[in-house]
Each structure stands twice: as structure tokens, then as C-alpha cells.
Amino acid sequence: MPETHQLKPGNKIRLARTSTTGKDFHDDRDAAEAEFEALRLEMAELQYKLYAEGKRKLLIVLQAMDTGGKDSTIRKVFRGVNPQGMQITSFKAPSSLELDHDYLWRIHAAVPAKGKIGVFNRSHYEDVLVVRVENLVPEKVWKQRYEQINQFEQLLAASGTTILKFYLHISKEEQRQRLQERIDMPEKHWKFNTHDLIKRAQWDEYQSAYEAVLRRCTSKHAPWHVIPADQKWYRNLAIARVIVDTLRKMDPKFPPPEQAVDGITVD
Ligand code: AMP
Ligand code: MG
């Protein structure tokens, strides 16, 4: 039985005491990669049926500290899945138009349509993470958001959206190495942003803000998974397992033909 990283409602997770190391959960990288490849193929088949069925939606939320691996998770885990059935949205700092609306406005507009798998690269959770750490709105405003987010996710779930949330958990040392690579390797310069160093200096504040999210916004219909993400091969496997397991349970089916097709011959 694979290790589960799914949190339960009412959890009191402490990130500093939660492993970031895939090797604590799996000791054979080759076997992990082989299992991952098989899961990837199965995911593509299940997604094809979800799309054909055209009724339900799967929303995958990715959150992490900088360099946590959100982009590479999208690149690796969804490789081979038909892009037409995917809806991927990267949330940046809100534009002035977006700021003229409530914080869920742009999020709601990006939730997957029927038959689609939607991926959020960052999400509404930034509105209780960066916004909280950097005091972008008063405390009394962001404090209400945990409950608002729970209600919003409940609305999505009640409207046929299955929600999976992943926090890619890396260590501070792993982040140091990955940031240093972005500085040392010319082909990674484009990913480097000096603001990442400021955020790194606020590591503890961000970890506390993440703990609040993981504790307060884990519900039965929208659970968080804390994925040990220092080793990319384990991260990919752990995420693929959850997604494929979820799609298997959704059990999408090809719709019946609109009319009887028996005996029709195309000239
Ligand atoms: P990246 O994901 O590296 O492209 O960076 C996107 C940036 O947008 C990050 O620094 C986020 O913290 C920031 N961001 C995303 N959502 C929000 C938000 N709701 N409010 C403020 N900043 C945000
Ligand atoms: Mg960045």
C-alpha cells in the first residue's frame, strides 16, 4: 500500500517535523520511475474518458515555496495527457483589474469546465500566504478568507468538481541549492527573481502561513496532500498516484452514441 500524504480535517501539522525527503518513503528510484511511467499512461487514458464523458471536472491545486517544483510537476506529470482536455492557469500578482474585484473572482473564472482537468499553478491560497506575510490586506480581512475558501471549494465540489490540493514540501537547504543553480546556470537565469531572496529570508513566516492553510483548509471534499519534494522522482510518483487513484474512483465512461449506429455503413 503506497504511503499516503493526505491530511485529515482537524490536523495539527507541523511542517518542520514533516519530512521533505522522498527517500524516507521509497528506497528504489528506478522502480519509482517505472511505476510513474505506467501511471502517466493510465492518467492519459482516464483523462480521455473524462473528456469524452464531458460531465465532471478535476481541479488540481499546486502550492509551494519558490523553487518547490510546481512548474516541473506540471511538465512531468501531465506529459502525454491531451492538452485539449487540460486547463492550466498560473496565478501571478493580481492586475489592477483583478484587484478591483474580490480575490476569488479571477479564481472562479479559471476553474475547469466539464470534462476538463484544471491545474492551478499557485491559487487563491496566495491570498492567505503572500498576502498575509506581506500584510497586503489588514489581518481582519485575510483571517476571514480561510472560511470563505472552504465555502468556495464546497460550492465547486457540490457542482461536480473533484478537488485535490498538493503542497510540495521542500527543505530550506534544498531551496538554497535550487536558487543557487538559478544564479549559476545561464539557462536558468530567467527563473531567478531577486524577490525570491526576500521571500527566502521570510521562510519561517511562510511556513507558519502554510501551516495555517493546511490546518484550516483541509476538508473531506478538498484535502491537502503534503508531498515530500526534495527528490523530484518521488514527488512525481506521489502526485501521480493520488491523481490516478482519484480518476480511477471517478471511473469516467464513454457516453453512449447519440443514436443507434449498428449497421450504418459510410459510403
Ligand atoms: P511565479 O510563480 O514565480 O511566476 O511568481 C508569481 C508571483 O505572483 C509570486 O511571487 C506570487 O507570490 C505572486 N502572487 C500570486 N498570487 C498573488 C496574490 N493573490 N497576491 C499577491 N501576489 C501574488
Ligand atoms: Mg518565481
| DSSP-assigned beta bridge partners for residue 64 | 168
pLDDT at position 258: 82
Distance CA 60, CA 202 (A): 27
Beta strands in 18-67 (DSSP E): 57-64
* Average pLDDT rounded to a whole number, residues 94-99: 98
2 pLDDT tier (thresholds 50, 70, 90)? low
Q: For the chain, how many residues are written?
A: 267
- pLDDT at residue 125 greater than cutoff 90: yes
Which DSSP letter does residue 3 get? P
Helix ranges (DSSP H) in 163-231: 172-184, 195-201, 203-216
* Average pLDDT rounded to a whole number, residues 169-173: 98
CB 240 within 8 A of CB 38: no
What sign does the CA torsion over 202, 235, 178, 29 have? positive
What sign does the CA torsion over 213, 119, 225, 188 have? negative
- pLDDT at residue 1 greater than cutoff 80: no
**Can you tell me which atom of ligand 1 is nearest the CA of 103?**
19
Residue nearest to atom 8 of ligand 1 (CA): 92
pLDDT in tens, 205-245: 999 999 999 999 999 999 999 999 999 999 999 999 999 99
- Please give the mean pLDDT across all residues of the chain: 97
pLDDT in tens, 179-213: 999 999 999 999 999 999 999 999 999 999 999 99
pLDDT at position 257: 86
pLDDT in tens, 255-265: 998 888 888 89
User: What DSSP letter does each residue of 120-160 carry, written as one string?
Assistant: EES-GGGGGTHHHHTTSS-HHHHHTHHHHHHHHHHHHHHTT
CB 112 within 8 A of CB 197: no
Instruction: Decide whether any atom of ligand 1 lies within 6 Å of the 89 Cβ.
Output: no
Residue nearest to atom 1 of ligand 1 (CA): 92
Instruction: Decide whether any atom of ligand 1 lies within 6 Å of the 209 Cβ.
Output: no
Largest interatomic CA distance in the chain: 70
Instruction: Decide whether any atom of ligand 1 lies within 6 Å of the 29 Cβ.
Output: no
